[in-house]
Amino acid sequence: MTGSTISRTSASRTSVGRAELLSRTAKATDALSLFAEASAHLRRLMPYDAAVWRVTDPVTGMMTAPIRAENLDGGGCAVYWESELFTENVNLFRDLARAPVPVAGLRQTTGDLPARSTLYETFMRPRGFHDELRAVLRVGGHPQGHISLFRAEGRPAFDDAETQLIASVITPLAKQLRSFAEPDPQPQPDGPHGPGLLLFDATGTLLSFNDDALAYLDTLPEGPTVPSPQGVQVPSFIQATAMKARAVAEERDRGQTRARVRVRNRAGRWLVCHASRLREADGVPGASAVVIEPAKTSEIVPLIVDAYELTDREAEVTQYIARGLPTGEIAAQLHLSPHTVRDHIKAVFEKAGVSSRGELVGKLFTEHYAPLAEKSMTRVRTD
């Protein structure tokens, strides 16, 4: 068999494997099952020894839940994000999110000199990893997830063909992740009502917490956690959020002014986790506080709008509908003709799969924010 024949056979195998991967992941009903299917098929096409698949907040780009870790424990999470947020300058996720092709291998980028990366020195080499291929699952300019694939010492570095394979599945996987932000059609019971509070030191170690925080933690999706002196298993993304607050306070993170992520709990309710750096009495930077609480409608609208692929104008019209404004008033607010507003409403109905304003408001908001939606629906008009 000639080299060209081998090459064609390999390309055909990759094409078939890619098609199967996308076919199986298209049937996934949640992020964890999507990650499991994608990883199982991807390993057959380009073997790797460990991986982390993460959902990200499409607005802030920060890691949230759920997360799937393979052959890795949560113990190295602080080390990984310490490098990413404070010392690393190679293949940063925030830079990849804006890159023309949001995929990069460590050895490819450094010219096979991985010691240029602090991640390699502090996280990878101590764990026996030789290379990392990372990608941002991006669609419409918004990051929906991150992938980190690791190969152990003795394996070859990730090559161009493997980079291209990952690049070819980024958009369909990102679209699938985005769709999971659509509202759950089944009403879910309310969770804790008071804000949950957790305090972390500069290393990401949990210092203290309140009872509401524990109640919220019990509702979060399964995923990697880190132990604490108090015996609480802290989800990795919450620890990373606390560390992000420190990075923002120290102006380490270009373009980020706050540490904030949205996450859907196991009951389908949206929560928001936001963190800030506190100061001691003498003004010296102190602990980072993470607050967990139910997300307000304004926090979730951008995610739902993204999930239904609404345009900016359609999103504006939708929010005016939720406020109960009739077509004429919406037209006046947006300086459009009533006919144009009706066209936008029709497009929104088609994308959301509804046939009336009341149904639209109910589908987008009732399941998560019943009091607000009920108030809005009393004002909804049919014109």
Q: Which residues of 189-213 are buried (b: 16+ CB within 10 A; e: fewer)?
A: eebbeeebbbbbeeebbbeebeebb
CA distance 226 to 231: 10
Residue 137 belongs to what H/E stretch? strand 129-139
For the segment 160-215, what is each residue's pLDDT rounded down to a tens digit?
999 999 999 999 999 999 988 876 555 455 556 789 999 999 989 999 999 999 99
Residue 381 has a pLDDT of: 40
- For residues 143 and 164, what is the distance between their CA atoms, to the nearest angstrom? 18
pLDDT, tens digit, 9 for 90 and up, residues 163-173? 999 999 999 99
User: What tens digit of pLDDT does each residue of 53-108 get?
Assistant: 999 999 899 999 999 999 997 678 889 999 999 998 899 999 999 999 999 999 99
Provide the whole-model pTM: 0.83
Higher pLDDT, 151 or 315: 151
Tokens 């620890």 label which residue? 239
